[in-house]
Structure 1
């Protein structure tokens, strides 16, 4: 496959435009003529004003169009636009630069907005969540500014939530620098709020950024610290406190599994199941959801990571209903299930599980890498079904043991 820099500017423009936008639509988005768009994609030299208009419409830096750096993997035009707007909001808000028309809603209105953002996030609608967080950041910062001195703690807490949401969205779509920046601002806001729970939640979020950046030692240290900082007394803990603690312990188990530390994993999973059993049901709080089903479904993925396929399949057999989970958590469980089945060489069952998950959640799936890994693992076991799954993922079926992109999406 050619490198991004090896392609012509016209080819790069076609790939950035993608199949979801026609040349006519791009012309309307930029204010350029259709003839100009066609000429640009045929390789005609672009003026700076034209480049700037194309850059803004496609949500891609000029350096990407010019081939000086590659775009982020599998990021569609809508994703790129949202990330650019979110990045501007994070950096401007942190610098105290707010839009001239930024309003300062009351705290109860901002808390309701926080819930809406988290609901979108846990439905796997990350682009929508990112688009909503962008104005939310400015509103939360405006509320901090408007609050009387000495009465700003709650407003700082909401702003910490907004920054944490921005970090989560950025981390999921691969905008790692933005994720680091947003989680850093979340940490500062949580400190100003003097809220120990929020500080621990932010630390857990930073641990997740570390994990995705392959900083596993740092991720485990922070994950363990976060869980310790909010460990409640079981006899007096509220469901909300148990939700936060169970989620933190489970994440610590995830990080330990990536490091192959089976003893630590066993300890954390034991705590996780104990918390879930104590709760007796799934509870949503502090931007997360936890309970006995969450503890069990996440243990499936953890055992898959450790190569303990038999344990993973035993847990899968014990899970009868996942409807109480957030939609994104349900989809992730299906990916873990498909991976366990592939590891057990249950090829057709794995492809069935994977295909159903891809059809049920195409928006969520396009931000995930596991579907391609599972399909590659299955290989040529069931050619017709594999072709269908490969089409859903956006790759060609394997040739000589490897995958190749059907539409060059892997370059994006």
Structure 2
């Protein structure tokens, strides 16, 4: 039987799942100060006192409600992820409060290099690694700002805005919504201090994405539309950087409109997105965002799926013969959208083949995504042997 709900498991099974493969019973015993026998008894549902429960929850970095099955864990609840998110939270809140390192900060050039590396990791879908380097990057950027002479801090404010935005993106992907709101709010202040219009627009788009993940669709659409209008360029004179930022904004507005079921609005934004991509001619990156003609078409697949137009989505996939211009994360997401379109078309085997290939190509990225579970759910009982294999691969245990 495939268990889909966190509450379907026993308390002991939930402890074992949260412990994962990277933390043994012996390691958890050492982390909690409990005996291995006590850990074994808890996982076998034989004995779990309140003090034991509290020690285990503290060691695993989760709420007691998660272990007791009252609320599901966030995706990617591996031990190293929880430690990374805690460090990220400390960095965001400490720097915002003016608490920083007393060490000599890196040079501006070195910080810019590390920021580019963080964005590269982000677009590869290596989110835990991004989070790991983002905490020290944020602290270093804040220290660099304080070291700069008054009146010469614009460049440092820009770097700080990027660091906060990266932190917010990682938190948002991992479902830590309060941290995402905090990070994007501090990013907005830093971008305003930098006086950089394009960075301010990117931060606004980031906030709209947090709204989208928080199911605030109307707020997300309003903000995405406003940000796009504020930076809409003249195609005849626009720079590649302006087109990149505008294209990503208008594309995101189409995503939100599709989630709201507004087909006409989504179609209008998609037309503008495709026109912008055609004007650019190729994929480009700027300030941590990427856009181009292939991105516009790949995103259109997911947008049409949201509108219930699986046939149109499948037709669009035939127009994409080469996904190499996309970032790794975008390629993986496109593969999931294609698998979902195939599932909607009741092409079960092709859907599972596509899903399995995507998950095997990027297992670390896939465990932060909800779509694989959605696809498996749609396939249902078709092709049972393959379904069981793929369900196990994406983390839906077979018991």
Normalised to the residue count of structure 2, the TM-score between the two structures is: 0.91
Asked if the contact 2:298/2:334 (under 8 Å) is kept, the reply is yes
Counterparts of 1:341-360 in structure 2, within 5 Å, are 341-360=342-361
Asked if the contact 1:60/1:81 (under 8 Å) is kept, the reply is no
- CA separation in 2, counterparts of 1:63 and 1:335? 31
Deviations 1:284-323 (A, max 9, x none): 1110211110011111111111111222111111110001
Q: Select which of 80, 84, 89 maps to 2:86.
A: 84
Q: How many residues align?
A: 394
Counterparts of 1:284-323 in structure 2, within 5 Å, are 284-323=285-324
Asked if the contact 2:284/2:292 (under 8 Å) is kept, the reply is yes
Residue 394, structure 1, aligned to residue 395, structure 2: yes
Counterparts of 1:170-209 in structure 2, within 5 Å, are 170-209=171-210
Match of 1:132 in 2: 133
Asked if the contact 1:204/1:222 (under 8 Å) is kept, the reply is yes
Per-residue deviation, 1:406: 4.0
- CA separation in 1, counterparts of 2:84 and 2:319? 40
Q: Select which of 94, 97, 112 maps to 2:96.
A: 94
- CA separation in 1, counterparts of 2:347 and 2:14? 40
Asked if the contact 1:338/1:374 (under 8 Å) is kept, the reply is yes
Question: Any stretches of 5+ residues in structure 1 without a counterpart?
Answer: 396-404, 408-412
- CA separation in 1, counterparts of 2:70 and 2:304? 41
Change (3 A) 1:14 1:380: closer
Match of 1:59 in 2: 61
- CA separation in 1, counterparts of 2:70 and 2:347? 44
Per-residue deviation, 1:6: 9.8
Match of 1:114 in 2: 115
- CA separation in 1, counterparts of 2:71 and 2:247? 41
Match of 1:226 in 2: 227
Deviations 1:202-225 (A, max 9, x none): 110000000111111000000011
Q: Which moved more, 1:61-70 or 1:219-228?
A: 61-70
- CA separation in 2, counterparts of 1:318 and 1:261? 24
Deviations 1:66-98 (A, max 9, x none): 888664345222221111111111111111112
Per-residue deviation, 1:51: 5.0
Normalised to the residue count of structure 1, the TM-score between the two structures is: 0.88
Residue 243, structure 1, aligned to residue 244, structure 2: yes
Asked if the contact 1:246/1:276 (under 8 Å) is kept, the reply is yes
Residue 269, structure 1, aligned to residue 270, structure 2: yes
Per-residue deviation, 1:16: 2.4
Q: CA RMSD in A?
A: 2.5
Q: Which moved more, 1:286-295 or 1:75-84?
A: 75-84
Q: Select which of 43, 47, 53 maps to 1:43.
A: 47
Asked if the contact 2:180/2:210 (under 8 Å) is kept, the reply is yes
- CA separation in 2, counterparts of 1:56 and 1:110? 34
Per-residue deviation, 1:25: 3.0
Change (3 A) 1:141 1:5: farther
Match of 2:254 in 1: 253
Per-residue deviation, 1:260: 1.2
Give the 3-state SS of the residue equivalent to 1:318 in structure 2: coil
Per-residue deviation, 1:196: 1.0
- CA separation in 2, counterparts of 1:39 and 1:369? 32
Question: Any stretches of 5+ residues in structure 2 without a counterpart?
Answer: none
Residue 21, structure 1, aligned to residue 23, structure 2: yes
- CA separation in 1, counterparts of 2:190 and 2:115? 15
- CA separation in 2, counterparts of 1:224 and 1:70? 33
Give the 3-state SS of the residue equivalent to 2:135 in structure 1: helix
Asked if the contact 1:118/1:165 (under 8 Å) is kept, the reply is yes
Q: Which moved more, 1:71-80 or 1:280-289?
A: 71-80
